Amino acid sequence: MTEEFLEEDFPILVLVDEDGIEHLFELLAELEIENDKYRVLVPLDEEEEEELDEEDGEVVILKVIIDEEGNELLSDIDDETEWEMVVEAWQELVDSEEL
């Protein structure tokens, strides 16, 4: 997925999936864990908003990776141990800041 920041009061990302379809997300937080960066996002698209309401506040957490050309890309976290570490860090942030 690629990303693009829009000019808003709060950070909005436009992510383009493999099929070229754009999706809007609000950037809630950026985490840095063991020299890797992660972004915590909330979907803003109508379909994703409906899912968000149904699932009571779920977020999307993606890993920031840099391609050969130096572009930032966002990727799913496939490793279960890495995923658990990132979710734990996010939960600690939520608990400490009451997000």
3-state secondary structure string, 8-55? CCCCEEEEECCCCCEEEEEEEEEEEECCEEEEEEEECCHHHHHHHHHH
pLDDT at position 56: 55
Q: What is the pTM of this model?
A: 0.73
| Pairwise pLDDT comparison (88 vs 8), residue with the higher score | 88
Q: Is the pLDDT of residue 92 over 50?
A: yes
List, for residues 22-75, the tens digit of each pLDDT value. Answer: 999 999 899 999 999 999 999 986 554 444 444 456 889 999 999 999 999 999
pLDDT at position 99: 54
Q: Is the pLDDT of residue 14 over 50?
A: yes
